[in-house]
């Protein structure tokens, strides 16, 4: 029988398991769960997304434009193959597979990353400012519950998303109920059927019940990129309130640099910067990166030690040389960014030809792997649209999941949007757009 810390750690593994998957229904089990269990076995948007992704992998005919799986860029795949072969030959990779790292993660990787960012951007960071996790998703779970939730004083603090919509994976990451609050965006209507969200600073309220401000840059799901001025203003607000600003940089600069506008990498001692190796093209290695004040990093190391013992060292070992050489920045700027920008522009053209404005509006693509589609006046909900598309073999993600903490549950806009991954093979994207066109025209 599994007991003690190992059992408690295992409780965290199925954080986002839906109540019904592949015919297995939790409701039918003669079992009672704790409050933790009840909360984390509910149907969640991220559960639906990952289950769809898994089912799509089993069905070669499915058109998977829902999940966040990055493209297999041929040049990057070859570079990964070469680096893996080299490290298998010299024993580096095998050593990483045979040994635990410390709870803060691979020492060599953290040292190389600190030196790279000090050299390139003048950031005053050391390895003590860096923690690695088994993917960014677990990092957000740690941070949201470290800096928000119920305090010993009885105060309940929340995570503020100043620009909704936001990443689907945030929505169910709080141990407390109602742990998130979000603000409606200002919408700019652009030419050619495009639009853009901006932070509505006039409406932004940061009360004493806010423990953390969180933004993604580029934003998942919309591909929006907050400007340097917007980030600077959010930093000022966070400092004035004595709370951290968390920037989810999973798609951002300087790596993987899936970003199509000129922005400056941002970090200071009040910033928590989360990065990842996933969108570089290595999602299976599950390596998240957190750069923050050493006190936060030490706390995360303690949590990681309890839950995971240590994060995986395979990804960090594989990528350490690229950090030391600076190749990770060069490959990101010269290979990854142009590849995705071409695919995004092509997908926008196909969509606009298939479903012209004003029936379809597309958020201006500035980065990430997704196009955010707004069907203004959609006669059914985006969840119903998702179901219709799924019946035709097309998987997308309904938009209402991306508005965690939004006070106005009746805001119609959130039920008129969907997220579409444009990064998949060209023929799949074309087929998916054709199905979308058919279903929309039938409504």
Surface-to-core class of residue 141, CB atoms within 10 Å of its CB (0-12 exposed, 13-18 middle, 19+ buried)? buried
Domain residues for the domain of 228 are: 100-327
User: Do residues 143 and 221 both lie within one domain?
Assistant: yes
| CATH number of the domain to which 374 belongs | 3.90.1150.10
Cα gap 364→374, rounded to integer Å: 11
Cα gap 387→197, rounded to integer Å: 27
Residue 85 counted as domain residue: no
Each residue's pLDDT tens digit, 137-176: 999 999 999 999 999 999 999 999 999 999 988 988 899 8
pLDDT band at 50 (very low <50, low <70, confident <90, very high): low
Cis peptide before 61 (omega within 30 of 0): no
Is the pLDDT confidence value at 409 over 80? yes
Residue 90 counted as domain residue: no
User: Do residues 126 and 222 both lie within one domain?
Assistant: yes
Each residue's pLDDT tens digit, 284-300: 999 999 999 999 999 99
- Residue 44: predicted pLDDT: 62
Residue 221 counted as domain residue: yes
Residue 225 counted as domain residue: yes
Is the pLDDT confidence value at 2 over 70? no
| pTM for this predicted structure | 0.89
Query: Number of folded domains in the chain?
Result: 3
- Residue 22: predicted pLDDT: 44
User: Do residues 227 and 191 both lie within one domain?
Assistant: yes
Residue 94 counted as domain residue: no
| CATH number of the domain to which 174 belongs | 3.40.640.10
User: Do residues 309 and 381 both lie within one domain?
Assistant: no
Residue 305 counted as domain residue: yes
Residues near 151 by beta carbon (within 8 Å), at least 6 away in sequence: 157
- Alpha carbon separation from 251 to 113, 145, 161, 170, 363 (Å, rounded): 17, 23, 18, 16, 17
Domain boundary among 311, 327, 343: 327
């Amino acid at each position: 029988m599994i007991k003690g810390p190992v059992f408690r750690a295992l409780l965290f593994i199925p954080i986002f398991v839906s109540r019904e998957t592949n015919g297995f229904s939790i409701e039918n089990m003669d079992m009672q769960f704790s409050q933790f269990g009840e909360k984390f076995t509910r149907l969640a948007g991220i559960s639906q997304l990952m289950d769809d992704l898994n089912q799509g992998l089993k069905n070669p005919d499915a058109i998977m434009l829902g999940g966040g799986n990055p493209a297999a860029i041929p040049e990057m795949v070859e570079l990964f193959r070469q680096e893996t072969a080299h490290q298998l030959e010299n024993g580096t990779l095998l050593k990483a597979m045979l040994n635990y790292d410390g709870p803060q993660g691979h020492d060599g990787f953290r040292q190389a990353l600190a030196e790279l960012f000090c050299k390139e951007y003048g950031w005053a960071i050391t390895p003590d400012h860096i923690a690695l996790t088994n993917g960014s998703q677990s990092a957000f779970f740690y941070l949201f519950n470290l800096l928000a939730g119920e305090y010993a004083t009885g105060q309940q603090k929340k995570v503020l998303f100043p620009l909704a919509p936001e990443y689907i994976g945030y929505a169910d990451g709080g141990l407390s109920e109602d742990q998130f609050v979000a603000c409606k965006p200002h919408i700019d209507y652009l030419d050619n059927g495009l639009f853009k969200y901006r932070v509505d600073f006039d409406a932004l309220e940061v009360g004493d019940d806010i423990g953390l401000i969180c933004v993604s840059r580029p934003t998942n799901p919309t591909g929006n990129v907050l400007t340097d001025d917007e980030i600077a203003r959010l930093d000022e607000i966070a400092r004035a309130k004595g709370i951290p600003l968390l920037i989810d940089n999973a798609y951002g600069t300087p790596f993987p640099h899936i970003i199509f506008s000129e922005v400056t990498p941002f970090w200071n001692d009040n910033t928590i910067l989360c990065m990842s190796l996933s969108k570089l093209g290595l999602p299976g290695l599950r390596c998240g990166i957190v750069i923050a004040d050493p006190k936060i990093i030490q706390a995360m190391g303690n949590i990681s030690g309890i839950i995971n013992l240590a994060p995986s060292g395979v990804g960090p070992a594989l990528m350490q040389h690229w950090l030391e050489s600076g190749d990770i920045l060069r490959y990101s700027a010269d290979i990854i960014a142009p590849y995705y920008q071409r695919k995004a522009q092509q997908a926008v053209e196909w969509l606009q030809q298939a479903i012209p404005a004003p029936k379809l509006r597309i958020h201006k693509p500035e980065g990430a792997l997704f196009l955010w589609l707004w069907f203004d006046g959609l006669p059914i909900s985006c969840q119903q649209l998702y179901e219709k598309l799924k019946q035709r073999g097309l998987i997308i993600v309904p938009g209402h999941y991306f508005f965690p903490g939004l006070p106005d549950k009746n805001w119609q806009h959130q039920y008129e949007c969907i997220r579409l991954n444009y990064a998949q093979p060209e023929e799949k994207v074309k087929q998916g757009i054709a199905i979308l066109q058919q279903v929309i025209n039938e409504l």
